[in-house]
């Protein structure tokens, strides 16, 4: 079994034991997190929905990301990832959400935002929001896979921490 699928299974068990749901908002990963999650049998018990918002217009229309955030910070920024994750919560029934936006390559990078730069955010409906910027190496597929892995492990870590403090 792949590491990604194992992460999704662990996440599913944790969420289901709490009676909670997940939503995803993805850009550069193109729905890879949602695909991994829905590969787990029974995921409908804990996965509410996924948004693939590749364009800025999609981020605005589907998630409510403000044009000013995109203009000020760009699509690949922690501010945009935070807005995406909040939008996923606002437009779903989920208790938890994750968001990914980045530059998978091979082109599209700049000196300030190179290929491999990915911004992620994780949020809980009744809790805080955390964001992180990473710089992954490798080709397009490898960058996307690393982002998917970090998104899943990051939400699992946060769900488990919430279980410990409950």
The predicted-structure confidence for 129-156, as pLDDT tens digits, reads as follows 999 999 999 999 999 999 999 999 999 9
Domain at 3-165, CATH class = alpha beta
Q: What are phi and psi of 136, to 5 degrees?
A: -95, 150
pLDDT in tens, 30-80: 999 999 999 999 999 999 999 999 999 999 999 999 999 999 999 999 999
Residue with tokens 């809790």: 127
Q: Is the separation of the CB atoms in 102 and 118 below 8 Å? A: yes
- Predicted TM-score (pTM) of the model is 0.97
Parallel/antiparallel/unpaired status of strands 117-124 and 96-102: antiparallel
Where are the domains positioned within the chain? Answer: 3-165
Q: What share of the chain is helix, strand, coil (3-state, %, to 5)?
A: 50, 20, 30
How far, in Å, CA of 52 to CA of 62, rounded? 9
Residue 19 reports pLDDT greater than 80: yes
Residue with tokens 């955010």: 121
Residue 87 reports pLDDT greater than 80: yes
Average the pLDDT over each of 8-12, 87-91, 126-130, 142-146 and give the range with the smallest value.
126-130
Edge-to-edge strand order for the sheet containing 117-124?
A: 47-52, 22-26, 96-102, 117-124, 129-135
Question: Cα dihedral sign for 157, 159, 162, 166?
Answer: negative
pLDDT for 163 equals: 78
Residue 166 reports pLDDT greater than 80: no
Q: What are phi and psi of 28, to 5 degrees?
A: -65, -20
DSSP 135: E
Quickly state the pLDDT bin for 1 (edges 50, 70, 90). low
Nearest to 145 by CA among 41, 46, 30, 49: 30
């Amino acid at each position: 079994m792949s590491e990604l699928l194992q992460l999704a299974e662990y996440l599913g068990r944790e969420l289901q034991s709490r009676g909670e749901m997940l939503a995803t908002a993805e850009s550069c990963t193109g729905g890879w997190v949602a695909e991994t999650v829905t590969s787990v049998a029974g995921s409908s018990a804990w996965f509410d929905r996924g948004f693939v918002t590749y364009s800025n217009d999609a981020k605005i229309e589907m998630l409510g990301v403000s044009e000013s955030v995109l203009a000020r910070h760009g699509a690949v920024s922690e501010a945009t990832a935070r807005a995406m994750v909040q939008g996923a919560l606002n437009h779903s029934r989920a208790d938890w959400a994750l968001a990914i936006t980045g530059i998978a390559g091979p082109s599209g990078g700049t000196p300030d935002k190179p290929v491999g730069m990915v911004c992620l955010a994780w949020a809980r409906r009744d809790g805080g929001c955390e964001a992180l910027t990473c710089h992954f190496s490798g080709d397009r597929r490898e960058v996307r896979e690393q982002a998917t892995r970090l998104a899943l492990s990051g939400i699992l870590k946060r769900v488990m921490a919430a279980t410990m403090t409950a």
